Amino acid sequence: MSLDLARWQFAFTSINHFLFIPITIGLAFLTALLQTAWHRNGRGEYLRLTRFFGTLLVINIAIGVVTGIVQEFEFGMNWGAYSRLVGNIFGAPLAMEGLAAFFLESTFLGLWLFGWDKLSRRVHLLTIWAVAFGSALSAAFIMAANSWMQHPVGFVMVHGKPVLNDIWAVFTNPVFVWGYSKVLLVSLVTGASVMLAVSAWQLRHGADRAVFTKSARLGLIVLVPAILFTMLVGDELGVIEGQYQPMKIAAAEAQWSTCQPCSFSLFQIGGGNNDQTPTQIIEIPHLLSLLATNHWNGKVVGMNPLQAQYSKQFGAGYYVPDVFIQYWGMRTMAYLGVVVLGIAVWGLWLIRRKKLATSRAFLLVAIWGVVLPFLMNTAGWLLTESGRQPWIVQGIMLTKNGISPTVSTTWLWISVVCFVALYGVLGTVDLLLMLKYARKELPPPPTETDADLEAPVPAVQY
Amino acid sequence: MSALIPFWFIVIAILWTGFFILEGFDFGVGMLHNFVGRDEPGRRAAINTIGPLWDGNEVWLIVAGASMFAAFPGWYATMFSGLYLAMVLLLMSLIIRGVAFEYRGKRDAAEWRRTWDVSLTTGSLLAPLLIGIALGDLLHGLPINSAQNYTGTFWDLFQPYAVLTGVTLVLICLLHGATFLSLKTTGDMLERSRQLARRVAPFTAAAVTAFVIWTHVSSTSTFFLRPLELLAILAVLAAVWLVYANRDGFAFAATTVTIASCIISIFVGLYPHVMVSSTNPAYSLTVDNTASAPYSLKAMTVVVVIFLPLVLAYQIWTYYVFRRRVSREEFMPAQRPTVPAQSIPAQEVPLRAAPGTPSSALARLRGALHGRKL
């Protein structure tokens, strides 16, 4: 029970945390681009857009920051045995994150928000880039830590305990390099989708067409390459994970026995850990081989042989993750990715036809399309984290051995209830505020005196 | 023993000290903003004295926690799992307080702002109280078994010494916040800040003195106070005198020294322990039996030596940029005859004002006063 509660709590808080993180990283970058455009051409609409999307960014950063503190504390609170065992490796990137990235992001966010009329325009522009850079760098350290759990590197075992002996290896871990690239790309996808959706809503509701067409275009221009590269990088990440965590990939295809070449099923009926013969619908030959190995005739080892191999290697136990989550997590992520790509390409085509601002059908799809990246991200994290089970650190420590031994079930229940209630309230408030500010009118065009480069722009205040 | 182990103990002590010096006045302002600002413009002015600063200040806590995780995993694991429910409460306080800053001004409704005012005040009160209790527990001892695991209940955390530490920290933060507000506000807000400082100061002095003596008695058997402990008492007495003499700058310096010497004296009292076991002294956690491997410490040392000075540099610069006092008048509702006042969120007032209205004129005047290169 304690194990389930601790896992459930961590999943709940991290999934929530990662709703806000990609908006922050993506939107910080896009806001920095808008402000740069204003800085270079001095045109008032870019300043208005910067302020408009900057407000949305800040609403999100607030909750992203506070949910991040929970993440940091949870390792010690719920996963004491884990922290004790691997803190000397896993803790290092977290400490570095704070020192090198989070300080930068938070301090410069204050400077950006309140510094409009106190800093020179050039320096003020640098502060938003520092926020964007800091938030992206933050994710790098967190992903280095997470990747170590998926594929531990750079350590030696001393008396049954992993001890770091090569920090460089932790930051060149292939799972990290590809996983982090993917996080950056999906952050751009998420941020760009938000920008596109908000602009689309504004265009549909008669807002200043000249202004919001610009932000819709910026969103699309970032979205198309970002989603394309997300797919390519995601494919490569799958191959790498297949190499180090074959069980994860086998479970994602519900592949119980070894196959070569392997086909990919679009859907299945039944399945799960107790049903080894689901009805698979529309099988595409060779596709799984390609996805999992990059080879036309690649071999994918099934879960049954892997289970036998792990039982021999690590002792008796059940080493198969939740097959249902794996199978559908993989498909939700991939299929939604295709839908996002479709929307993006449609938008690009409309830009070419100069109809972006007037195609009401596209604008409606673009508005509702904003939920897709969030579902996609969540499915992706379920796939990668649940797919590591039963390990907390692949091959080194089982999740059930990682919990805090003296934290009682009662304490866990209290904390779960508290976090669910608080996150529920704050998530709702955040959503309502986002909707409210996304539907607001733009700040008015700068007046003649404001438009010349000499007048100060008022600062944001609480 | 690697020399890096005591070095990292010092780094962690520095991070906690830095956190309390900086976030200390944020907590104080959070607790006092309702008393210093009697109306909406006043409250907003009070909050905006720390508006650009609090987020960067809070990172000190996050880095302190992460550094404990990385440098002393055993300490981090025992402390965070042992103080479980206190940590849940602390997290909730930090959360409601953090979002209060951002969300408070995002809707123009009295009840909405009232809610976030209460969150800000409660969070700012509970956070230093809980952290103080936690630090007091480290030094005074908790039931910890031979496997370095906490075996007590939630209520075991509230032993008298720990509660005193928590209350002392709250009182120091109050005084520190009041002296900070005296430096950052104008007019009647300045007067009220000074008045609050004068009211709080004697209580802070009494608490600090009691805390220092109890800390001394529980961590050493010598009669005379150590220099650091003496410094804490002298600093807090100086602070009392300075707030009564209206010497705001020196008073703030004195409260800063008080905080620093109190926090450091806890860590000095601890060393070489990091958590004392009241079950059996032999089970106590020490820097040695909780530290990371030398290689990890070395890698992190490189990072901390490069980045901590850099962080200090840009944070000092931030304080320089936002050195001006914040006045209530900046937040007075502008006269806008054409637009109904209610539909306009307070935050966007300056931006929305038409040219020639008082607020935009004021914004421009402020810009000029702040010495922007025109």
User: What is the C-alpha to C-alpha distance for residues B23 and B30, in angstroms, rounded to an integer?
Assistant: 10
The verdict on a CB contact (< 8 Å) between B322 and A118 is yes
B290 neighbors B73 (Cβ within 8 angstroms): yes
The verdict on a CB contact (< 8 Å) between A110 and B56 is yes
Give the tokens for residue B309: 């000075």
Owner of token pair 């990609």: A22
User: What is the C-alpha to C-alpha distance for residues B196 and B177, in angstroms, rounded to an integer?
Assistant: 10
CA A350 to mean position of chain CA atoms: 28
Write down the H helix ranges in A264-370: 287-293, 303-314, 323-352, 360-368
Residue A44 at interface with chain B, using a CB cutoff of 8 Å: no
User: What is the C-alpha to C-alpha distance for residues B346 and B342, in angstroms, rounded to an integer?
Assistant: 9
Owner of token pair 């409009």: A116
Residue A424 at interface with chain B, using a CB cutoff of 8 Å: no
Least confident of A280-289, A389-398, B71-80, B116-125: A280-289
The verdict on a CB contact (< 8 Å) between B372 and A414 is no
Q: What is the mean pLDDT of residues A192-198?
A: 95
What pLDDT does residue B351 have?
Answer: 41
The verdict on a CB contact (< 8 Å) between B348 and A443 is yes
pLDDT at A217 over 80: yes
- Which of B47, B69, B368 is the closest to A76 by Cβ? B69
Judged by DSSP in three states, A283 sits in: strand
Cβ neighbours for B361, distance < 8 A, ≥ 6 positions apart: none
Torsions phi, psi for A317 (to 5 deg): 165, 170
The verdict on a CB contact (< 8 Å) between A433 and B307 is no
Judged by DSSP in three states, B3 sits in: coil
Task: Give the closest residue to A435 by CA, choosing from A170, A126, A197, A127.
Answer: A197
Torsions phi, psi for A13 (to 5 deg): -70, -35
Q: What is the mean pLDDT of chain A?
A: 90
Q: What is the mean pLDDT of residues B28-36?
A: 93
pLDDT bin (cut points 50, 70, 90) of residue A446 is: low
pLDDT bin (cut points 50, 70, 90) of residue B353 is: very low
Chain A partners within 8 Å of B300 (Cβ): 92, 95-96
User: What is the C-alpha to C-alpha distance for residues B62 and A69, in angstroms, rounded to an integer?
Assistant: 7
- Which of B76, B149, B360 is the closest to A76 by Cβ? B76
Q: What is the mean pLDDT of residues A166-170?
A: 93
Give the tokens for residue B134: 């936690």
- From residue B272, alpha-carbon distances to A163, B228, B284 in Å are 23, 17, 10
Q: What is the mean pLDDT of residues B33-45?
A: 90
What are the residue boundaries of the structural domains of chain A, listed by start?
A: 2-245+321-451
DSSP H or E run through A302:
none
User: What is the C-alpha to C-alpha distance for residues B41 and A79, in angstroms, rounded to an integer?
Assistant: 45
Cβ neighbours for B170, distance < 8 A, ≥ 6 positions apart: B27, B31, B125, B128, B129, B132
Is it true that the peptide bond before B73 is cis, omega within 30 degrees of 0?
A: no
A220 neighbors A192 (Cβ within 8 angstroms): yes
Task: Give per-residue pLDDT as tens, B165-215.
Answer: 999 999 999 999 999 999 999 989 999 999 999 999 999 999 999 999 998
> To the nearest whole angstrom, how far is the Cα of A322 from the nearest Cα of chain B?
28
Residues 145-174 of A with CB under 8 A from B: 158, 163-165, 167
User: What is the C-alpha to C-alpha distance for residues A346 and A76, in angstroms, rounded to an integer?
Assistant: 47
A82 neighbors A161 (Cβ within 8 angstroms): no
B32 neighbors B174 (Cβ within 8 angstroms): yes
Chain A partners within 8 Å of B52 (Cβ): 110-111, 113-115
Residue type present at position A384 = T
Partnered with residue B144 across adjacent β-strands are B150
The verdict on a CB contact (< 8 Å) between B303 and A70 is no
How many other C-beta atoms are found inside a 10 Å radius of the C-beta of residue A71?
16
> To the nearest whole angstrom, how far is the Cα of B136 from the nearest Cα of chain A?
19
Residue type present at position B329 = E
User: What is the C-alpha to C-alpha distance for residues A269 and A427, in angstroms, rounded to an integer?
Assistant: 34
What pLDDT does residue A439 have?
Answer: 87
The verdict on a CB contact (< 8 Å) between B77 and A83 is yes
What pLDDT does residue B369 have?
Answer: 44
Pick the residue from chain B with its C-alpha nearest to A454: B374
Which sign, positive or negative, has the C-alpha torsion A83, A89, A94, A99? positive
Least confident of A32-41, A85-94, A378-387, B335-344: B335-344
User: What is the C-alpha to C-alpha distance for residues B116 and B38, in angstroms, rounded to an integer?
Assistant: 16
What pLDDT does residue A278 have?
Answer: 81
What pLDDT does residue B371 have?
Answer: 41
**Degrees (nearest 5) of the Cα angle A350, A356, A360?**
110
- Which of B66, B77, B354 is the closest to A98 by Cβ? B66
- Which of A110, A455, A458 is the closest to B55 by Cβ? A110
Torsions phi, psi for A393 (to 5 deg): -125, 115
For strands A391-393 and A279-284, give the pairing.
unpaired
Task: Give the closest residue to B325 by CA, choosing from B184, B177, B178.
Answer: B184
Task: Give per-residue pLDDT as tens, A291-312.
Answer: 888 888 888 899 999 999 999 9
**Degrees (nearest 5) of the Cα angle A441, A442, A447?**
125
pLDDT bin (cut points 50, 70, 90) of residue A225 is: very high
Residue B224 vs residue A361, higher pLDDT: A361
Task: Give per-residue pLDDT as tens, B252-294.
Answer: 999 999 999 999 999 988 888 899 888 888 898 898 889 899 9
What pLDDT does residue A329 have?
Answer: 93
The verdict on a CB contact (< 8 Å) between A118 and B321 is yes
CB-facing half-sphere around the CA of A371: CA atoms within 13 A: 5
What pLDDT does residue B1 have?
Answer: 62
The verdict on a CB contact (< 8 Å) between A107 and B56 is yes
pLDDT bin (cut points 50, 70, 90) of residue A447 is: low
Identify from A10, A88, A104 which residue to disrupt to test chain B contact, counting B C-beta atoms within 10 A and taking the largest count. A88
User: What is the C-alpha to C-alpha distance for residues B204 and B198, in angstroms, rounded to an integer?
Assistant: 10
Residue A405 at interface with chain B, using a CB cutoff of 8 Å: yes
- Which of B99, B295, B315 is the closest to A66 by Cβ? B99
- From residue A183, alpha-carbon distances to A26, A245, A328, B323, B361 in Å are 10, 19, 20, 38, 45
Give the tokens for residue A256: 């119980």
What pLDDT does residue A455 have?
Answer: 55
Torsions phi, psi for A120 (to 5 deg): -70, 155
Cβ neighbours for A191, distance < 8 A, ≥ 6 positions apart: A22, A23, A25, A26, A27, A28, A29, A30, A222
Task: Give per-residue pLDDT as tens, B79-113.
Answer: 999 999 999 999 999 999 999 988 888 888 889 99
B77 neighbors B151 (Cβ within 8 angstroms): no
Q: If 0-12 CB within 10 Å is exposed, 13-18 middle and 19+ buried, where does residue A276 land? A: middle
- From residue A334, alpha-carbon distances to A304, A328, B354 in Å are 25, 10, 50
What pLDDT does residue B223 have?
Answer: 76
The DSSP annotation for B296-356 comes to HHHHHHHHHHHHHHHHHHHHHHHHHHT-S-B-GGGGSPP--TTS-GGGS-GGGHHHHPPTT
Judged by DSSP in three states, A151 sits in: coil
> To the nearest whole angstrom, how far is the Cα of B310 from the nearest Cα of chain A?
9
Question: What string of H, E and C letters represents the secondary structure of A41-59?
Answer: HCCHHHHHHHHHHHHHHHH
DSSP H or E run through A162:
strand A161-164
CA A107 to mean position of chain CA atoms: 23
Task: Give the closest residue to A5 by CA, choosing from A425, A410, A422, A424.
Answer: A410
Q: What is the mean pLDDT of chain B?
A: 86
Torsions phi, psi for A300 (to 5 deg): -115, 120
Torsions phi, psi for A283 (to 5 deg): -95, 130
CA dihedral B355, B359, B362, B366 (to 10 degrees): -110
Strands, E assignment, B190-286: 273-275, 285-286
Which sign, positive or negative, has the C-alpha torsion A84, A85, A87, A88? positive
What pLDDT does residue A445 have?
Answer: 67
Residue type present at position B9 = F
Cα Dmax for chain B: 75
CA A161 to mean position of chain CA atoms: 31
Torsions phi, psi for A269 (to 5 deg): -110, 135
Predicted complex ipTM: 0.90
pLDDT at B345 over 60: no
Chain B partners within 8 Å of A80 (Cβ): 77-78, 80-81, 149
As a whole-number percent, the residues of chain B with pLDDT over 90 amount to 62
> To the nearest whole angstrom, how far is the Cα of A300 from the nearest Cα of chain B?
37
Residues 436-455 of A with CB under 8 A from B: 436-437, 443-444, 447, 449-450, 454-455
- Which of A67, A87, A99 is the closest to B73 by Cβ? A87
pLDDT bin (cut points 50, 70, 90) of residue A255 is: confident
Question: What string of H, E and C letters represents the secondary structure of B102-117?
Answer: HHHCCCCCHHHHHHHH
User: What is the C-alpha to C-alpha distance for residues B137 and B215, in angstroms, rounded to an integer?
Assistant: 11
List % helix, strand, coil for chain B (3-state, nearest 5). 75, 5, 20
Task: Give the closest residue to A308 by CA, choosing from A296, A300, A320, A299.
Answer: A320
Partnered with residue B142 across adjacent β-strands are B277
- Which of B72, B92, B151 is the closest to A406 by Cβ? B151
Is it true that the peptide bond before A446 is cis, omega within 30 degrees of 0?
A: no
Partnered with residue A157 across adjacent β-strands are A162
Judged by DSSP in three states, B53 sits in: coil
For strands A264-269 and B273-275, give the pairing.
unpaired
